[in-house]
Amino acid sequence: AGSFPQGITAGSDGNLWFTEAAASKIGRITTAGVITEFAVPTAGSGPSHVTAGSDGNLWFTEEGGNKIGRITTSGVISEFPIPTSSSPPTGIAAGPDGNLWFTEFGVSRIGRITTFGVISEFSIPTADSQPLGIVAGPDGNLWFTEQLANKIGRISTSGVITEFPVSTANSAPSGITHGPDGNIWFT
């Protein structure tokens, strides 16, 4: 009760994995409905978004802990602190380069973490843009929302960022995905 499940993704093990932000846990649910929970080592870490990595593990953001977490399908959790304090990481996506890419809401950066835990950060040209969602696009780039700047950003796997204004004023783009039509869709 009160765990506040937030992000969910399919794992390489055939189960679904989800975050429990208020309980600081990662959950696994089978398609038959059996739930197992795993406590994140950092209390109050607020895991929010989760994605499957190229290494077969699940990777998640810890907004309250300022970390990126990794959980194996057997439930072993590792945490990787983000170099910039007060960034909180929000969205996370598996990139076409085999790395994991995440948004840093508080400092307007995009982060990249290798499956070995090495983190790089890239500053978004628009300060205070508050990036939130991120997705790998069919073009080999990653696309992200800039909620406060009212823009959609694109970052190449080499770290080059391009921004595109959203035509509806003050729309605060948040969620983002790629559609079967090959386009990027956002809320």
Amino acid 5: pLDDT: 95
Amino acid 49: pLDDT: 97
CA distance 185 to 187: 7
Q: Is 161 helix (H, G, I), strand (E, B) or coil?
A: strand
Amino acid 182: pLDDT: 94
Instruction: Report whether 44 contacts 21 (CB < 8 A).
Output: no
Report pLDDT digits (tens) over 61-119. Answer: 999 999 999 999 999 999 999 999 999 999 999 999 999 999 999 999 999 999 999 99
| Residue 128 exposed, middle or buried by CB count within 10 Å (0-12, 13-18, 19+) | exposed
C-alpha separations of 162 from 16, 25, 144, 154, 166 in Å: 33, 35, 10, 5, 13
Instruction: Report whether 136 contacts 178 (CB < 8 A).
Output: yes
* Cα 106 to the center of its chain, rounded Å: 14
| pLDDT mean over 132-143 | 97
CA distance 161 to 163: 7
Report pLDDT digits (tens) over 148-181. Answer: 999 999 999 999 999 999 999 999 999 999 999 9
Amino acid 63: pLDDT: 96
| Residue 3 exposed, middle or buried by CB count within 10 Å (0-12, 13-18, 19+) | middle
pTM: 0.96
C-alpha separations of 61 from 28, 64, 93, 96, 134 in Å: 16, 9, 10, 19, 12
Amino acid 36: pLDDT: 98
CA distance 66 to 73: 23
Amino acid 179: pLDDT: 95
| pLDDT mean over 124-132 | 96
Report pLDDT digits (tens) over 49-71. Answer: 999 999 999 999 999 999 999 99
Amino acid 109: pLDDT: 98
Amino acid 147: pLDDT: 97
Amino acid 90: pLDDT: 95
Amino acid 47: pLDDT: 98
Amino acid 144: pLDDT: 98
Which two three-digit tokens encode residue 146?
């800039």
Q: Report the DSSP pairing between strands 89-94 and 77-81.
A: unpaired
* Cα 183 to the center of its chain, rounded Å: 20
DSSP string, 69-104: EEE-TT--EEEEE-SSTT--EEEEEE-TTSSEEEEE
